[in-house]
Copies of this chain bind each other. A is one copy, B any other.
Amino acid sequence: MVTIVDVAHEAGVSISTVSYVMSGKRTISPETRRRVERAINVLGFSPHAGARSLASRSTNVIGLQIPLRSGVDVHVVMEVVSGIVARARTHGYDILLLTSDDPRGMERAARGSMVDALLVMDIESDDPRIGVLTQLEQPSALIGLPEGRRNIPCIDFDFEQAGWLAVDRLLAMGHRRLALIGSPPEVMARHTSYADRLARGFLAGCAASGVVGTVHACPGDAEAAAVVDEVLATVPEVTGFLVHNEAALPHIFSHLVEIGVHSPAAPAIVALCPEDVALAVPGPVDSIAVPAEAIGIAAADVICDMIDGGTPPGVRLIAPTLTIRTASAVRAK
């Protein structure tokens, strides 16, 4: 293994000079800098991460907690993660993966100085992990938005606003009875933050306009069809749909085709999903994009800034945008 001593020797300087060249924490003459950099390249030196973290008390690693629970949309999770990883790297950080549901995993990583900070995904409205986080020395941030006091920064998409926005669109198209085809039942039951907030925004939007809206949990697999059928059967007057679970999209879409686009009972759909999913549906749908990668990027930026001593930003919500792909004609009353 080649160490900083070898580099210093090769360059004919002291090891502290080599260290200062790498960190840039002191001015170094151009001539010396060149010699050191050459030596580093010639020897293929890369500093020992452990030694570095011991001496500098920082690891350049961020812990990422993702409880891999059932019902989560892996597609979205993956995109968020990929945003985090990529952006963290540009800040010089690597990601340590923590997937155990047990918060002690995070504690272990933090207390053992394995990470400089923690990022926590899949937040529930009353998440037990938050208590653990506040006890830790390292800064942390949540990807999601729990209820109650928030002494930890939160980054997320504004699902509540998305609910309002979808209702606005459906109302503008003349629909008076709305339904939210939401997350799988287990996600709802856990009070996963985004599911709660979407439902809240949706219901508040409905209430504000004096229309009736109902929320329906919907599994992610083939059973989605059954849920759609049931909603259509038991609430026949429903014509406005906010569809969060993409598994339901094809079925409600085929119902639309079946009934005829110009029928007065023809449903209108607003899909809430990543942009590529909305485009992959067998026909145009209005959609509100879930900017999964952007969430990851924002989260990485926030946490890196906090590590650098920046002030925690409180809550950072990415605003929803509605993309209209269907004819905007208001339906006949």
Contacts and interface: CB of A to CB of B under 8 A. Distances in A.
Nearest to A219: B280
B47 A50 contact: no
A305 B26 CA distance: 44
A96 B96 contact: yes
Interface in A244-266: 250
A240 B5 CA distance: 66
A131 interface: no
A52 interface: yes
Max chain B CB contacts within 10 Å: which of A50, A51, A105, A282? Answer: A50
Interface stretch (A70-78, A197-205, A207-215): A70-78
A99 interface: yes
A49 B114 contact: yes
A108 interface: yes
A184 to B, nearest CB: 12
Interface stretch (A7-15, A81-89, A139-147): A81-89
B78 A111 contact: no
How often does this chain occur in the complex, in copies? 2
A51 B49 contact: no
Interface stretch (A30-38, A53-61, A167-175): A53-61
A160 interface: no
A114 B94 contact: yes
Nearest to A282: B222
A235 interface: no
A220 to B, nearest CB: 8
Contacts of A109: 94
A189 interface: no
A48 interface: yes
A256 B89 CA distance: 49
A97 interface: yes
A1 B50 CA distance: 17
Contacts of A52: 50
A64 B222 CA distance: 32
A281 B224 CA distance: 11
Shortest Cβ-Cβ A-B pairs, 9 listed: A221-B280, A50-B53, A46-B111, A50-B54, A222-B280, A95-B97, A50-B50, A49-B114, A46-B112
15 contacts: A44-B111, A46-B108, A49-B53, A49-B114, A50-B50, A50-B59, A51-B54, A68-B82, A82-B99, A85-B99, A85-B100, A94-B97, A94-B114, A221-B280, A222-B282
Given A68-B82, A77-B78, 8 more contacts: A49-B50, A50-B53, A50-B59, A81-B97, A86-B100, A94-B97, A221-B276, A223-B280
